[in-house]
Amino acid sequence: MALRHRPTVPRSLESRITSTQWSRRELLRQVALFGAGAPALAAMLAQATAPDTWAAMLAQEATPQRGGSVRIAVPGSAETFDPNLAFVFEAIWACEHLYSGLIRITPEMTLEPDLALSWEANDALDRWTFALREGVKWHDGSDFTADDVVATFDRMQDPAFASPFRTAIGMLDHTEATGPHEVVFHLNSPFGEYPELMSAYLARIVPAGKRADLARNPIGTGPYTLDLYTPGERTVLKRFEGYFDLEGQAFLDQIEYVAIPEEATKAAALAGGNVELANEFQPTSLPILQGSPAVTVAEITSPGHQPIFMDVTQKPFDDVRVRTALKKCVDRNAFMAVVLQGHGDPAADQPVPPFDPNYGNIPLPPQDIEGARALLAEAGYPDGLDLMLHTSPGRPGMLESALTFKDLAALAGVRVEIQSHPIDNFWADIWKKVPFFTSNWSGRPTAEQILSLIYMCDASASEGNWCNPAFDELVVKSRATSDAAERLALLTEAQQLLADEGPAIIPYFRSYITAHSARLQGFAAHPLRLLDLRRAWLSA
């Protein structure tokens, strides 16, 4: 039987609570995903046997009000407004309002329609048909059609274009418009998670024949258009009055991203009412934020992680013994305590988080200083190593992680010098251009996506230039199987191989801590760290 997806708007938290028997632990998780504040959570827990009371409480939702401007404190500037190239958060956040994808992934990690109203697969799971919205307009007034979808995916498959998404859609053979508002994706192997792949931020649709200058002059079908861009200062978006769903979305007149790289300044701006939303905070800022009655704080479980990458094409990282030795220096409990203050989960040098269905439960390696020293000596470094580690304070946790690694590595005779850079400079001039650096990942909806995007041999998003054909074969096989147990076994083996031989030191998965003005309604913290304001509005 063909696999069909005919989505509806996700149920509200109210309806999910009243129709489900939840444990207290599950209630905590679901409320966290919805970003409910402490008072609401306390009330729900207090009424743990009275769902009718919950329903009455949660039904008291105000009607969204149209108008107003929201200022968002972000660390830096968008480096591009081309969504198929946007790989830095500042660009991703702007593009999610300028463009639309076929599918969106909600804060609950469920799929909902965007430009596609429904989708279904054939029995073999190698052909996916998407029914598209009619009457959608581009920002220049032209009509959106299936030809735009075909052109977008042809573009991303072109090696010369070098989209970071090209490897992730490696199973795609070609895209076909079978009507003005229907498109078929022909795959070269079965893949049951293709809809999840289409929710990726890199898969947003661009107009056919008008793509030459999207980096600075974006044309999308999203709810907002670019009004002003001042690098290093601000990006301003204004509502697009031709958007296809102004009744249920795009309540704000304007969204303004303000560059505030310093965490303390960002927290003060939020507490003082100078911005309405800030993207992310370290746990050390929680007392300040929670002490302000005008600020709402949300902390949710996240697949976000901050690897320390080693370029395996450069000495000394071309030797797996050196990479393993550096991993053995890591005390994961120390990272959890010093960098995260307990707000996260330890990781085993692979990027699939414990709550993913395809998490391989890879054993957490213990710190082994003597083992590290022995491997370094075997690799020709009996007196230790001198390394330069590049990082930035522009993403909470990156600099702290680098400093923690420096202290731990010193125990094994590894002398690490830290070089810190402003965030815009880091992404433009340092990231992937030096052999040893910290990075920042928000995770992906599925294990296969994060593994293929960064670690396969031809991955355009590769940060360590690692290539292992056996790893690639495992990931490709996992795409083709419809058996959940077989997929888990294949991806577990891939995760173990990556942990043992790969280019990344991954000590933890960090919780996502964000905060916003109590006036900002309809916004929910997203596990993938998206800042989606499509349904947000300001109360009086």
Q: What is the pLDDT of residues 207-217, one digit of tens each?
A: 998 877 999 99
Tell me which residue of 258, 232, 247, 214 sits closest to 95, measured CA to CA.
214
Phi first, then psi, for residue 96 (nearest 5°) are -70, -15
Q: What pLDDT, in 10s, does the model give residues 512-528? A: 999 999 999 999 999 99
Neighbours of 59 (CB within 10 A): 9
Q: What pLDDT, in 10s, does the model give residues 257-292? A: 999 999 999 999 999 999 999 989 999 999 989 999
Q: What is the pTM of this model?
A: 0.84
Options 3.90.1170.50, 3.40.190.10, 2.60.40.420, 3.20.20.70; CATH of 224-297+512-538: 3.40.190.10
Phi first, then psi, for residue 449 (nearest 5°) are -60, -50
In angstroms, how far is the first alpha carbon of the chain from the final one?
51
pLDDT at 59: 36
Using the predicted structure, report yes or no on whether residue 242 has a pLDDT greater than 80.
yes
Summary mean pLDDT of the chain: 89
pLDDT at 31: 37
Say which residue, 119 or 24, is predicted with more confidence: 119
pLDDT at 239: 98
Options 1.10.1040.50, 3.90.76.10, 2.60.40.10, 3.30.530.80; CATH of 100-203: 3.90.76.10
Q: What pLDDT, in 10s, does the model give residues 142-198? A: 999 999 999 999 999 999 998 989 989 999 999 999 999 999 999 999 999 999 999
Give me the amino acid identity at 506. Answer: I
- Please report which confidence band the pLDDT of residue 374 belongs to, taking 50, 70 and 90 as the band edges: very high
Q: What pLDDT, in 10s, does the model give residues 300-345? A: 999 999 999 999 999 999 999 999 999 999 999 999 999 999 999 9
Least confident of 44-53, 270-279, 402-411, 485-494: 44-53
d(CA 517, CA 109): 24
Contact 336, 69 (CB under 8 A): no
- Please report which confidence band the pLDDT of residue 61 belongs to, taking 50, 70 and 90 as the band edges: low
Using the predicted structure, report yes or no on whether residue 223 has a pLDDT greater than 80.
yes
- Name the CATH superfamily housing domain 308-510: Dipeptide-binding Protein; Domain 3 (3.10.105.10)
Strand partners, 184: 129, 176
Tell me which residue of 219, 224, 197, 200 sits closest to 209, measured CA to CA.
219
Using the predicted structure, report yes or no on whether residue 18 has a pLDDT greater than 50.
no
The ranges assigned to domains in the chain are 4-58, 100-203, 224-297+512-538, 308-510
